Chain A
Amino acid sequence: MPEVFFFKLTLLLYAVATVGFFIYFYTLRPEALKGARWVFLSGFGTHTLSLLLRLKTLKAPPVTSFHEATSFLAWAVVGVYFFLSYRGPKVYTLGTFLAPLVLFLMIISAISPATILPLPPALRSFWLPIHAILSLVSYAFFLVAAVAGLMYLVQERQVKKKTLGGIFRRLPPLESLDRLNELCLKYGFPLLTLGIITGALWAEEAWGSYWSWDPKETWSLILWFIYAALLHERLIVGWRGRRAALMALLGFVVWIISFFMVNLFLSGLHTYGKWT
Chain B
Amino acid sequence: MENGLREKLLLLGLNHRTAPVEVREKFALEKKDRHPLELLKNEVPQANEAYFLSTCNRVEFLLVTTAPEETLSRLKGLLSRETGLPREAFEPHLYLLRDLEAVRHIFRVASGLDSLVLGEPQILGQVKEAYREAVEHRTTGPILNRLLHRTFSVAKRVRTETGIGSYAVSVSYAAVELAKKIFGSLKGKVALLVGAGEMAELAAQHLLAAGVERMLVANRTLSRAIELAERFRGEAYGLEELSECLLRTDIVISSTGAPGYVITREMVKPLLRKRRLRPLFFIDIAVPRDVEPAVNELENVYVFDIDDLKQVVEENLDRRRREALRAERIIEEEVLKFERWLRELAVYPTIKALRARAEAIRQRELARTLPRLRDLSPEEREALELMTEAIVQKLLHAPIAYLKMGYHRLGREAITTVRRVFDLDEDLKELSEERPPALPETVRKEV
Interface of A toward B, CB cutoff 8 Å:
89, 159-160, 162, 164-165, 168, 172-176, 179, 237-243
Contact = CB atoms under 8 A, between A and B. Distances in A.
Nearest to A238: B276
Sort chain B's interface into a size bin: 20 to 34
Interface string B167-187: 000000000001011111100
Given A164-B178, A165-B315, 4 more contacts: A162-B308, A173-B184, A174-B182, A241-B279
A175 B183 contact: yes
A128 to B, nearest CB: 41
Choose among A173, A179, A243 the residue with the greatest number of B CB atoms under 10 Å from its CB.
Answer: A173
Interface stretch (B29-37, B82-90, B298-306, B408-416): B298-306
Contact of B181 (A159, A160, A179, A237): A159
Given A159-B181, A173-B182, A237 B312 contact: no
A241 B272 CA distance: 13
Nearest to B299: A242
Nearest to B274: A238
Nearest to B315: A164
A168 B302 CA distance: 15
Contact of B184 (A89, A162, A238, A241): A89
B273 to A, nearest CB: 8
Nearest to A176: B184
Interface in B245-284: 273, 275-279
Contacts of A242: 299-300
Contacts of A162: 304, 308, 311-312
B278 A240 contact: yes
Interface string B93-133: 00000000000000000000000000000000000000000
Contact of A240 (B277, B296, B312): B277
27 contacts: A159-B178, A159-B182, A162-B304, A162-B308, A162-B311, A162-B312, A164-B178, A164-B312, A164-B315, A173-B181, A173-B184, A174-B182, A174-B184, A175-B183, A175-B184, A175-B185, A175-B279, A179-B184, A237-B276, A238-B278, A240-B276, A240-B277, A240-B278, A240-B300, A241-B277, A241-B300, A242-B299
Interface in B147-199: 178, 180-185
A159 B300 contact: no
Contacts of A240: 276-279, 300
A176 B184 CA distance: 6
A34 to B, nearest CB: 16
A162 B304 CA distance: 8
A269 to B, nearest CB: 41
**Interface pairs A-B: 3 shortest CB-CB:** A238-B276, A175-B184, A173-B184
A103 to B, nearest CB: 29
Given A238-B277, A241-B279, A243-B277, A168 B181 contact: yes
B276 A174 contact: no
A171 to B, nearest CB: 9
Interface in B297-325: 299-300, 302, 304, 308, 311-312, 315
Contacts of A164: 178, 312, 315
B363 to A, nearest CB: 35
